[in-house]
Chain A
Amino acid sequence: MAATTTEVTTTTTAPVPQIVARRVEPERTGWTSWVTTTDHKRIGIMYLVLTFVFFILGGTEALLMRLQLSQADNTLLDPKTYNELFTMHGTTMIFLFVVPIMAGFGNYFVPLMIGARDMAYPKLNALSFWLLVAGGLVFYGSVFFNPPECGWTCYPTLSEAQYLPNGGVDAWIFLIHLTGLSSLVGAINFYATIANMRAPGMGWGRLPLFVWAILVYSILLILALPVIAGAVTMLLTDRHFGTHFFDPSNGGSPLLWQHLFWFFGHPEVYIMVLPGFGIISEVLPVFARKPIFGYKAIAASTVLIAFLGLLVWAHHMFATPSPTFVLIFFMLGSFLIAVPTGVKIFNWVATLWRGTVEFKTALLFCVGFIGTFLIGGITGVFLAVFPVDWQLTDTYFVVAHLHYVLMGGAVFGVFAGIYYWFPKITGRLMSEGLGKLSFWLMLVGFQVTFLIQHSMGLDGMPRRIYEYADVGHLELYNMISTIGSFILAAGVLVTAINVLRSLKHGPVAGPDPWKANTLEWFTTSPPPVNNFDVVPRIRSVEPMKDIRRQIARQTAGAGEAPPAPAPESAVRA
């Protein structure tokens, strides 16, 4: 917004200036500049900061629960508070942390990676962010009254006014509506941006894999969110306006809710992990110094996972009264998803194979991601076999599985993204020492917390219980898990300290500290408001490699005539 500019042309065939400034306005500063901004980078930063705050809140809620469960028959928390805590923890982590932080990364980096000046609809982009803020405020406002206590799935009839009459469930419904609208508006924006604003030469086969992931994330959001919006509206009218959509005593069906909820809820899992996959696919090749292995297979498997992800929702409902045929259909569908997911993991390992792996913190988080997510994928196959699921569902085995997928999958991906892109966002490098400390604390803490939870489930401990009797080894298992959760929290804290410290004291990064592959590293760190003065023509999946090679060629062969297509890509000195 500093410069009112006119784009003359995007395809560069002659070395003419691409953007002409007619007039330069003084840059706005202070907090009003943040509130009124439509710059995708500032909105992206606000997304990242806000969602990280919610991550800390959700994490604190988790620690309180772990404290309560560290002893059998503990009385630290009463049942009402405990139910409120797991409801807020799940809802916060999903709707206020993982989904929107991916939107934050997408906001900041999609336009940069495709060589665009901003998102397609900058004002809608600001609307997305402020709707998220509104959703978070409405939901956390309930802390001062009655937070919801129906779990993040809010199954009726428990969530009906008859059983939970206070406003907590309503606050949850409005959170779903507001964050849902935020994501929907954002998804349309991403789709329009990626479809229309790619740099010259960037066909679908040269789209960075993170952008592929955000594209598919957007399509899934557009398909899944209207369903949950409808479902929560029905719940709202059930609660306040006398309808009976989910009330069996008046012809309604609690199972209808479960189908609608999971028709959204399962794609939501892929909405959360696919952008994480995208981050891994960007970071791994950079630090292996090797091209990504099987670009097409990874892009195709992203699309296939999303498609299949829309067809497996009832595997969350194997214990409900359902015909065997339905159970078999959803079991086999869930099996099918394991294939493209496995392909991705194999491709990532093959990307490391015969590379020269540089153990930067971002790479460590990627590797931690692969190793951890693999376990979540494997336990997912156990849960897909419905007779086995009958024993495992709604126990701590499922709690372990979902944290291996979402914490191992999405959150480790997010941390890889933070360490990889922090220099681009701030212009400064983060401390590698603190980064590695944080990684090891998080990895060890995570495994100690959640591996044992499989055994807790197999030992008969259902999820969402505020207390348990000390039968079997439950007290021991729970104590181990609680200790692990505090190690994990310490790891997160180290990264938070690292971020704050590096903002002021980190070494200056320069435009391309990692010698990376994609276009965001072509501009300065942090990028100027208009992102790029010139946009190079894209000739491969790794435009920065091409540019570096061309610079090397031109500087080495000074005096000689440049190779024929050289003027096509204008290079900033």
Chain B
Amino acid sequence: MARTQATSLARRLALAVLVALAALLAFAGSAFAGAIVPESGGSPNADHIATLYKLILVVAVVIFIGVEGCLIYSLFKFRARKGAVAAQIRGNTRLEVGWTVGAALILVVLAVFTFALLPSIRNPPNSGPAGLQLATGTLVASGPPKKLPPNGKSLNICVNGQQYIWRFTYAADCSNAPLNSPFSYQQMVVPVDTTVTLDINAQDVAHSWWIPKLGGKFDAIPGYTNHTWFKIPAKYAGTIFTGQCAELCGRNHANMTAQVRAVTPAEYERWLDQRKQDIKAADDAAAKERSQLQQQQTP
């Protein structure tokens, strides 16, 4: 039958495409980042998302070629010609049950892929040996439902979205951060090989935290705290990762950019100390100016 011939041909074709695609993605995957594959490379969760995406892409391309192929083939092969008579077929229960089950099975496969990779995307790992050595009790996040590394130690940073800038507070407990916690705007500085957990919220309208190479988007919604993590490999010390707000937050939504600068742990600690001193100096200067103004005003 023409039908079975066509299916076996389609099957062979599909197999060939599958092999070719898998090879292409395996050897040149990074070359496609930002064109047909999401960006990755800055953190294991971003890498695993890209892997999951590629697995789905392979299945998708096979289905795409199969269905579009059948469509174009039937249009070409069965176009109206002199003497051609249309077969008056109203259905075929076995075939229809077959493709329903087939479609469901493909989705089961995709679900298996997802569940296999989910833990490595959702759950943060321990910091590496080259990372910041986190003493217990300081800079350690706590409390459910946030995911923590198995050893419970992570460098926690509070991310706060505001029209139209990101504020980063370097504190372990974001809901109760000390008033003198170091902070920065727009650029976050983090040590490499260290698991960084983020507590994300917003103070005015909804925003969305997104640095493509460091993993997916996490909405910053006023009244809620969202969580994600990343761990930048040691070789990226000195690299700046960029991203921008991904949820419409007003007229200058397009200009709400963010940067994550990866540095060595030693450099990070130096930077943090410098920030603390700078902030203290600025506070002192402001306090001094305030008292001067008060003295001027009092006769």
Contact = CB atoms under 8 A, between A and B. Distances in A.
Contacts of B5: none
Contact of B39 (A255, A331, A357, A458): A458
A157 interface: yes
Contacts of A374: 64, 67-68
A506 interface: no
Interface stretch (B49-57, B181-189, B260-268, B280-288): B49-57
Given A158-B205, A385-B52, A467-B254, A458 B217 contact: no
A354 interface: yes
A408 to B, nearest CB: 13
A319 to B, nearest CB: 4
Contacts of A350: 89, 92, 95
A382 B35 contact: no
B60 A367 contact: no
A79 B251 contact: yes
Nearest to B48: A387
Contact of A382 (B60, B89, B250): B60
Interface string A154-185: 01011000010000000000000000000000
B219 A320 contact: yes
A253 B215 contact: no
A151 B34 contact: no
Nearest to B222: A248
Interface string B46-87: 101110110011001001100110110011001111001111
A378 B63 contact: yes
B243 interface: yes
Contacts of A323: 145
B64 A253 contact: no
Interface stretch (B14-22, B128-136, B223-231): B223-231
Given A335-B107, A349-B71, A381-B56, A254 B223 contact: yes
Contacts of B56: 381-382, 385, 388
B111 A332 contact: yes
B253 interface: yes
Given A79-B252, A394-B217, A468-B254, A462 B79 contact: no
A254 B79 contact: no
A234 to B, nearest CB: 16
B166 interface: no
Interface string A277-293: 00000000000111111
Contacts of B222: 157, 248-249, 254
A338 B53 CA distance: 17
Given A349-B71, A357-B75, A357-B80, A295 B90 contact: yes
A245 B3 CA distance: 59
A208 to B, nearest CB: 15
B107 A390 contact: no
A223 interface: no
A471 B257 CA distance: 13
Given A320-B226, A458-B37, A338 B218 contact: no
A446 B170 CA distance: 47
A80 to B, nearest CB: 5
B80 A387 contact: no
Interface string B137-173: 0000000010000000000000000010000000000
A429 B21 CA distance: 47
B248 A158 contact: yes
Given A248-B222, A294-B96, A394 B80 contact: no
Interface string A119-135: 00000000000000000
Interface string A356-381: 11110000000100110011001101
B80 A356 contact: yes
A293 B90 contact: yes
Interface string A330-357: 0110011011001101110110111111
Nearest to A397: B38
Given A385-B56, A459-B34, A157 B110 contact: no
B52 A462 contact: no
Contacts of A462: 210, 244-246, 253
B205 to A, nearest CB: 4
B79 A359 contact: yes
A458 B103 contact: no
17 contacts: A83-B251, A150-B248, A155-B247, A158-B249, A158-B250, A163-B250, A288-B78, A291-B90, A294-B92, A321-B219, A339-B103, A346-B96, A357-B80, A381-B60, A393-B217, A458-B37, A466-B253
Interface of B: 33-39, 46, 48-50, 52-53, 56-57, 60, 63-64, 67-68, 70-71, 74-75, 78-81, 84-92, 95-96, 99-100, 103-104, 107, 110-111, 114, 117-118, 121-122, 145, 163, 204-206, 208, 210, 212, 215-219, 221-227, 242-255
Q: Which 10 A-B pairs have the closest CB atoms?
A: A390-B216, A248-B223, A465-B254, A289-B86, A459-B34, A354-B87, A294-B91, A342-B103, A79-B251, A321-B226
Given A83-B248, A391-B39, 18 more contacts: A80-B251, A149-B251, A254-B206, A254-B221, A295-B91, A321-B227, A323-B145, A343-B99, A346-B99, A349-B71, A353-B70, A359-B80, A374-B68, A375-B64, A382-B60, A391-B216, A460-B212, A460-B244
